Amino acid sequence: MFNRLPPLNALRAFEAAARRGSVSAAARELNVTHGAISHQIKALEAVFGTPLFERNGKRLKLTPQAALLLPALTTAFETIAAATALVTRPSTSGSLRISCVPALLSFWLIPRMHQFSEQFPDISLTLVASNDPDRLYSPDIDVCILYGDGTWLDCWARLWSNLQLFPVVSPTLMNSRALRSVRDLRDHVLLHGDDGREWNTWLAAADALDMPRGRQHFMSDARLSTEAALSGQGVALGDAITAGSLIAQGELVVPFDLSVPANDAFYVACRNEVRAAPIVRVFIDWFFSALERDRGAEPQASARRVIRGRGRIDAPAATAESFTPVSRARAAAQRPVKRRLKP
C-alpha cells in the first residue's frame, strides 16, 4: 500500500493518454510535448512497478492493471473539474463599495437601490458621496461614479452619460418673484454647484453674460445647489438625470426653454484589477442598463431648446408627443404664466 498518492502530473498524463488512446492526443489536450507525456507515464510505471500500456503500433492498449486504475482516475478528475467550476463561477454575493457624485447618488442612485437589491439580494452596498478621483486608487472603494473628463490614469473608465444643463427653481419662489425673462435673474440668487463656469456657459448662450448679477452662493457640489433651489433659496442649474424626478413631481420647474452642454460628463471607473471581479461586473452592467431603461421609458424628443454650437439654438416644435415627463411637469407648472426666453 502506498503511503502517499503517486505524482498528480503523472496520473493526469496517464489518464489523458489512456482515455484518448494516444500519447500525441494526450499531449495536445494537456498542452505539453509528446516527450513530457511519455516521461510522466514511465515515471508512473516505475512507481507501480508494472507496465501500464502494451505498445503495439500507434494505438495504446491498457494492461489489466491500468484498466483497473483508469475509471477511478477519470471519475476523480471529473469531480475535481466540477468542484473547480463551482469555486470559480461568477459570484453575485458579497459587499460592494461605491463612491458616487453626490447629486447623482442622492437624486438618482438611491431612489433605484431597491431595483438593484431585488435583482441581487445577496449583494450589500456601501455608498460614499464623493467626486474625488483619488478614490479610484483606494483599496476601500470598488467602483467610482465620477463627474469629470474621463482621463484618469491607470484605471478602467467608461462614459455613462453626457449632460445638458438648464436653470431650475422652486415653483414657490418663481410665483413670488418674477422670472419671465433672463434679465429677471438679476433679482434672484444664483446658486452655483461649481466655481461659476457652468452658469457662465448658460448665460453666454442666453446672450446675458454681461448681465449685472445679484447675490451668488457657491457650493461644493450640485447636490447642495439643487437642495438650496428646492428650499427656495435661489436658482440653480440642473440636468434631466439628477433633477428629472424633482421636475416631474413639480418640486422644481424650468423657467427657460434653453439648455447647454455641461463641461464634463458622468463616468463609471475602477481599477483595472477590480474590473474583472464578477460582483463589480454585475453592478456596472446593472448601472448602465438602469439608465437605458429610464431613457426607454420616456419619449426621446424634447421641447427644450438645445445649444448645438456657439451662437446657434435649435428649437424643435413642441407637440404633445414631444414632451417628456420632465417637460410635461414644466409645462404644467408654467401654464398660469406665459414665459419667453428673452434678454
Give me the architecture of the 94-161+267-296 domain, per CATH: 3-Layer(aba) Sandwich (3.40)
Q: What is the pLDDT of residue 313?
A: 30
Closest CA to 161 of 114, 120, 103: 103
The string of DSSP codes covering 153-209 is SSSEEEEEE--EEEEEB-HHHHHHS--SSGGGGGGSPEEESSSSHHHHHHHHHTT-T
Question: Considering only 79-83, 90-94, 141-145, 277-281, which range has the smallest mean pLDDT?
Answer: 90-94
Q: pLDDT tens across 188-208, in order?
A: 999 999 999 999 999 999 998
Q: What is the mean pLDDT of the chain?
A: 83
- What are the residue ranges of CATH 1.10.10.10 in the chain? 8-88
Closest CA to 173 of 333, 340, 343, 335: 333
Q: What percent of the chain has pLDDT over 70?
A: 81
Q: What is the pLDDT of residue 276?
A: 84
Q: Is the pLDDT of residue 279 over 50?
A: yes
* Exposure class string for 55-65: b at 16+ Cβ within 10 A, else e: eeeeebebeee
Q: What is the pLDDT of residue 116?
A: 95
Q: pLDDT tens across 98-141, in order?
A: 999 999 999 999 999 999 999 999 999 999 999 999 999 998 99
Closest CA to 66 of 21, 27, 30: 21
Q: pLDDT tens across 20-75, in order?
A: 888 998 999 899 999 999 999 999 999 999 999 987 766 788 999 999 999 999 88
Q: In CATH, which of 3.30.413.10, 2.60.40.10, 3.40.50.620, 3.40.190.10 is domain 163-262?
A: 3.40.190.10
Question: Which residues 6+ apart lie within 8 Å of 110 measured at CB?
Answer: 127
Residue 296 pLDDT class (50, 70, 90 cuts): confident
Class of domain 8-88: mainly alpha
- Spatial distance between the Cα atoms of 23 and 315, rounded to a whole number of angstroms: 75
Residue 297 pLDDT class (50, 70, 90 cuts): low
- What are the residue ranges of CATH 3.40.190.10 in the chain? 94-161+267-296, 163-262
* CB of 13 closer than 8 Å to CB of 26: yes
Question: Which residues 6+ apart lie within 8 Å of 206 measured at CB?
Answer: 182, 256, 258, 341, 343
pTM value > 0.85: no
Residue 336 pLDDT class (50, 70, 90 cuts): very low
Residue 264 pLDDT class (50, 70, 90 cuts): very high
Residue 163 pLDDT class (50, 70, 90 cuts): very high
